Structure formats: C-alpha cells, structure tokens
Amino acid sequence: MQKTTVQRLFLCLIALMILSACAPAMKQIPSEDPQTLYTAAVAQQNAGNPSGAYETFIHLWKTYPRHELAPRALYSAASIKASTDTGTAAELYLSFIESYPQSDLLPTVRQELLGHYLRQGTYTEAAALFKEIYAVNRDLGMVSPGIELATGLAETEHLYPALEIVALTYPLSSGESRDTLKGLWTSTLEEIDEVDLLVQLEKSTQEGELFDALLARQAKLYLEQDDKDLAQKIMDLLQGRPGQELIGKTTIGVVVPLSGKWEAVGQKVLKGVAFASKVFSKDKAPNVQYIIRDYGNDESAIPGIIDELDRKHNVISIIGPIGETAGAIACREAQARGIPSFMFTRGDIVSSEKSFCFRNFVSVDIQVKTLLQAAVDMNITRFAILHPGDHFGNVFTSLFIQYAPDYNIEIVRQVGYSPQLVDFKEAVNKLIEDIPQPAPKETQEQTGDNAVTKIEPDFDALLIPDTAINAAMIASYLPYFSIEGVRLFGPTLWDTPDFLRVGGKYVDEAVFVSGFFISSQLDFVQDFNNEFYYTFGYSPSVWEASAYDSATVVQNLLEGALHTRETLRDQISSVKDYPGLTGATSFYPDGSVDKSIYVLTVKGSTIYEIVP
C-alpha cells in the first residue's frame, strides 16, 4: 500500500515534467526604463502618432515623477493636448507648475498657460498668473500680453484688475505700446465711480503720467459729489507738475458720415475738427482726444455708436452728426445719456429747459431773422414771396411770415410753385397778375417801334427761398415782365458760384445770408482761411468753419478746468457772443442758438459783405 502511493507520486512528477517540456516558452517582460520610454514617445510623436506619444509621456510622468525626464515628459504631453484639448492642457500646465517649481521649463510653461488663458478669455486666472510671471520676469516680452490682458479685463468690466495690470506693464513699455497703455489707463479710470478704489490704486504706480491722471479722476469724482474744495486742492497740487498736459485728458466723440453719399460733407467736418485740435500746428495742442466714428448711409447706426462712445470711452461731449434726421436721432440719445452735443442741422432740435443738444449751424430761423433785420436797415417794408412747395421752401416762408410783423414788415403777396418746375415764367406771371395796371399815359415808353408797359409792383423786395440756380433763373424773368426796382432776398443756398454764373446781371443788388464768408474783412477769418489753405490745399467752407467753431468752444471750456458732462452743459449754455468763424454765437439752456451771420450782396458780378 505504501509502495503504491510512492509509485503514484513518481508517475505524477514524470507527467508534469513531460507537460512542461511540451508547453510553449513564456515571454519575459523587460523592466521599464524612463530613458527608453521617453525615446519611444519622441519616436511616436515624430512618426505622426501624437496620441500614442501622449500616452507614453503621461505613463513616464506618473510612473517616475521624480526622474529628471518627468518634467519634460509632462510638458511634452501638455503641448500635444494644447492644440486639441485646451482644458486638459491647462490642467497639465497647472500640474507642472505645482510639481516642478524649480524646473528650467517653468517660465515657458507659465507663458504658454498665460496664452491659453488669454485665448479662452479667462482673464481673472490670467491676471493672477501674469503677476506670478512678472515677479520673476520683467522684460519687453511682458508688454504685449499685458496690453491684451488689461484690455480684456476692462472690456469684461474687471476695472480695478485691469488698472493693476496697466500699472505693472507701463514701466516696461515704450513708444506706441506706452501710448496704448496710457489711453487704456485713462479710459478705464473714467469707468470707476468710487473714490475709495482710486485711493487704493495709488499704491500700484509711481509713474508720473499715470499717477497724475489717477489724481485728476479723483478730483472729477469729488466735483461730481459737490466736494469742490477737495477737487480744487487736488488740481492745485497737480498744477505745474511734469506731464501736466496729460492730466485729465478728456475724450470727445465725432460722429459723421465718412462713407456713403454724404462722405464729402463728413470729411469737411472732420478736417474742421482736426484743424481745431492743432495736430497740424506748432501751437500747444488742447488737452483733449477725439474718437471718430463713421455712420455712412446708415443713420440707424447712430444710437449704437453713441452707446459705445458713452460706455467704452465716457466721452464728455459729441460733435455731429449731420442733417435733420440724423440730428434728431442723435439728440434723443444725447439727451437720455446727458452728453452735451453739437449737431449740424438747419432744422429745429427738440429742446427742453435743460437741453444737452446744441445746434451749432445756421438754422432757418436765424436766416429769416437776419434777412428781416437787413430789410429794416435798408428801409424795405413790403415783401412778396415766391417759393417752392418743398419742405425747406414751406418752412422758410412760414417763419418769414411769422416773424415779419416783429420787424414792421408787410407780406403783400405770396405764390408757391412745384419743386419740379423748370420754367418759372408762369410762376412770376401769377405773382403779378392781379397788380392794378397804371393808366397808359403813365406807363407807356417808346422803344423804337415798340411800347413797353412797366409794372409798378406793390412790393419792395422779393423773397425766393430756393436754390441758387432756381433763384437766378427766376431773376432773369423779372425784366421780361418789366419788374424793376425790386431787390431779391434769399437764404444761404445762394452762397455758391452758381448764383452769379447763372444769374449774371439779373442778380445784381440781390441780398442773401451766409454762415461763412471766405472773403470777410475780419482778421481772424482771413487768418483761418490762409492757414487752412496752407494745411489742406483748398479753401474752407461753412462745414469746416462750423466744425472748427464747435470743437474750439468745447476745447476752450475744458481748458484749465475740471468738468462733468453736467457742468460742461451749463458752461456751453452760458456762452454769449462767441466770436466764431460762422458769426458771433450765443447758446441758451434750451439748446437754441443765436448767430450774427454774414449778410452779402452782389455788385457788378462780385459778392460784397454788408454785415460782417
């Protein structure tokens, strides 16, 4: 029994040995080596297998985190993910910063992570990382991301962090980048309405230009809070310090059509503003900056433009737009936001007792009143009116009739005609058809074989509120009906070479008004004309002159004084008899304007000034 058991065990052993000999040999797993893994990952990456390379790099890093190749493997893995999975890449970059603070690759990792934050618009994280980088690396390479970061923070209304980044970046910058940061600093300061925040910001910079602008903003806020004494103390402190010309630099918006059908007029206005800003002069430039916006043919874009000028640039005033419709749109926005604005329109602007809309252009009512006063000065008391039935003709005629009694002037007859009329014979005939005819003996004059009957009109002057060409053609019909001794009166539309070219001798002694007379004998008008021509190579018109006057009024009011929009509006409404190129100008609280404009006449095909 015992022998049988031993035999059985022996037989089992023999069987196991036979089975082992017949079985296939098992493959031995080699031990992992970090260098081998890294080499294999690089080979996979070079072979176009980034996924495999990423897995190998990650395996190396996780398995051998203390090996000298681990930081490079982690960085390589993050770089691979940066183009396909930015979230994972950011996590890996953060792991690198936490795990390997002494690595030579740390500056590169931080820069790449900063770039990732900026691309993703995660500006708060970017700001914290920027400060970490700045603490150990202050070179020119920080300027570009600093500008991008500060701009992003400001646009997302992280105002205080934006100013901190500007303060850090500014000392490293120069030239154009410095100007960009300076503008960003001042515009962002204007968005902050809490003095305490501005006081905290004082420790962020010792740069004179930035610090002075910071104090100037504080002074403005104190002024808005009616703490005028403290505001004045700050301004007194700033007076005479280096960089004073940069203190409190205020922004003015210019909204004009620089493209589309009104491009030519918009460009004229822009040149007038530019000339007022003295960018072409050796004289000291005013302490303002202009932001130009084009609305082209799309007047519906004006509200959005004003909204942007208000929110992003905090403009203290607006110059423009042009025309009655555009002016009405802009006025609604300006009034709602409390932005003092100068608009170039002949039409009436909706006014209020405390208007922020000022019409600095030669309006119809100013033209009418000026013509009536000129008639009084010439002892003319009776008028006839021949006018087109369009909007301008009807408004001009209505106001002339309305104001005439105030000047003891009588309107004896009035005739309208179609705006499409090209032959004015019937219109003139209708004007005089019911005039009583004198007795033949008194009216017959022999001219050869023909007898000419002279009409004795019952009016001394004829108002024609139409274009220069149409008025000139009407003038040529008056001798046809033997109408003599009647002076023609007209609007600023006559102030064009077409009036003399078409009218010739028939418009002699005509009287009309102008918003700007280039041949005026006023010295300052001649100086402006000469300097403008020298700068731009052409003579200015009423558009350039009106824009120049508007810009100069605002610049003068802002010079040497702190203003809010409210106080600037009050100052504008108190301007009286300002000696402008477009005539002595006065503004009033309801937004209305009064001008002493030019009265002109024609003598011998030459235009002369009656009233400068």
- Does residue 258 form part of some domain? yes
Q: Report residue 186: phi and psi, to 5°.
A: -65, -40
Instruction: Write the pLDDT tens digit of every residue in 490-507.
Output: 999 999 989 999 989 999
The predicted model gives 480-499 an average pLDDT of 90
- φ and ψ at 455, to 5 degrees? -85, 135
| Model pLDDT, residue 34 | 87
Do residues 386 and 256 both lie within one domain? no
pLDDT surpasses 80 at 282: no
- Confidence at residue 2, expressed as pLDDT on a 0 to 100 scale: 47
Domain identity same for 435 and 505: yes
Kindly report the CATH number assigned to the domain that includes residue 173: 1.25.40.10
Give yes or no for residue 318 having a pLDDT over 80: yes
CATH number where 258 lies = 3.40.50.2300
Indicate whether 85 pLDDT > 60: yes
Domain ends where: 204, 226, 246? Answer: 246
Beta-carbon contacts of residue 274 (< 8 Å; ≥ 6 apart)? 280, 290
Residue 270 contacts residue 258 (beta carbons within 8 Å): yes
233 and 270 inside one domain: no
Q: Is residue 200 part of a domain?
A: yes
pLDDT above 90 for 450: no
Percentage of the chain exceeding pLDDT 90: 38
pTM of the full structure: 0.60
pLDDT band at 254 (very low <50, low <70, confident <90, very high): very high
- Which pLDDT value is given to residue 83? 81
Q: Which of 246, 269, 286 is the last residue of a domain?
A: 246
Q: What is the mean pLDDT of the chain?
A: 84
Minimum mean pLDDT range among 25-34, 116-125, 196-205, 299-308? 25-34
Name the amino acid, one letter, at 536.
F
What does the pLDDT read at residue 227?
67
Domain contains 13: no
Mean pLDDT of the 57-80 span: 90
**Nearest-angstrom CA–CA distance, 611 and 513:** 9
Statement: residue 25 has pLDDT above 70: no
pLDDT surpasses 90 at 285 = no
* Residue 234 predicted with pLDDT over 70: no
Q: Does the pLDDT of residue 335 top 60, yes or no?
A: yes
Report which of residues 215 and 593 the model is more confident about: 593
Q: What is the helix (H) or strand (E) element at residue 152, kind and residue range?
A: helix 143-155
Phi-psi group of 528: left, alpha or beta (phi > 0 → left; psi -120 to 50 → alpha; rest → beta):
alpha
Least confident range of 19-23, 143-147, 483-487: 19-23
Q: Are residues 286 and 156 in the same domain?
A: no
Q: Are 184 and 43 within one domain?
A: yes
Query: For residues 252 and 291, is the Cβ–Cβ distance under 8 A?
Result: yes
**Which residue type, as a one-letter code, is found at position 512?**
F
Confidence at residue 411, expressed as pLDDT on a 0 to 100 scale? 94
- Give the three-class secondary structure for 301: helix
Do 321 and 368 fall into the same domain?
no
Q: Kindly state the DSSP code that residue 142 receives in the 8-state scheme.
A: G
Please report whether residue 14 resides in a domain.
no
Q: Is the pLDDT of residue 246 over 70?
A: no
Residues 6+ apart with CB under 8 A from 259: 266, 294, 296, 297
Q: 172 and 257 in one domain?
A: no
Q: In terms of domains, do 254 and 343 share one?
A: yes
Helix (H) or strand (E) holding 453: strand 450-453
Is 12 domain-assigned? no
Give the separation between CA 247 and CA 2, rounded to whole angstroms: 114
Paired with 601 in beta bridges are: 511, 608
Instruction: Indicate the residue type of 90.
Output: A
- What is the residue range of 289's domain? 250-361+524-583
pLDDT at 437: 63
Q: Residue 464 has what pLDDT?
A: 96
Q: Tell me what the mean pLDDT of segment 270-296 comes to.
A: 84
Q: Identify whether 598 is part of a domain.
A: no
**What is the structure's pLDDT at 229?**
65
Residue that finishes a domain, picked among 470, 496, 514 = 514
**Residue 600 reports pLDDT greater than 90:** yes
Residue 482 in domain? yes
Cα–Cα distance between 289 and 303 in angstroms, integer? 21
Task: Find, among 523, 520, 572, the residue nearest to 549 by Cα.
Answer: 572
pLDDT class of 13 with cuts at 50, 70, 90: very low
What is the average per-residue pLDDT within 168-188? Answer: 86
At 438 the pLDDT is: 58
Strands of 593-596's sheet in order across: 578-580, 583-587, 593-596
Residues 397 and 323 in one domain: no
For residue 287, the model assigns a pLDDT of: 76
Residue 563: predicted pLDDT = 77
| pLDDT of residue 442 exceeding 70 | no
| Token representation of residue 128 | 């914290």
Domain co-membership, 401 together with 472: yes
Q: What is the mean pLDDT of residues 529-546?
A: 91
The more confident residue out of 508 and 447 is 508
Indicate if the pLDDT at residue 611 is higher than 70: no
Number of domains in the chain: 3
Q: With 60 as the cut, is the pLDDT of residue 459 above it?
A: yes
* Residue in 352, 349, 330, 327 with CA at minimum distance from that of residue 339: 330
Note the pLDDT of residue 470: 94
Question: Where does 478-541 have alpha helices with state H?
Answer: 497-503, 523-536
**pLDDT tens per residue across span 138-154:** 778 888 998 999 899 98
pLDDT digit string, tens, across residues 351-372: 567 889 998 888 888 999 999 9
Instruction: Judge if 299 and 370 occupy the same domain.
Output: no
* 540-543: Cβ within 8 A, 24+ apart: 540/268, 540/271, 540/272, 540/516, 541/268, 541/516, 542/362, 542/492, 542/495, 542/514, 542/515, 542/516, 542/582, 543/265, 543/268, 543/269, 543/272, 543/344
* CA end-to-end span of the chain: 148
Task: Answer whether residue 319 shows pLDDT above 90.
Answer: yes
Q: How confident is residue 249, by pLDDT bands cut at 50, 70 and 90?
A: low
Residues 6+ apart with CB under 8 A from 521: 609, 612
Residue 86 counted as domain residue: yes
Mean pLDDT of the 2-24 span: 48
Q: Are 515 and 582 in contact (CB under 8 A)?
A: yes
Do 369 and 357 lie in a common domain? no
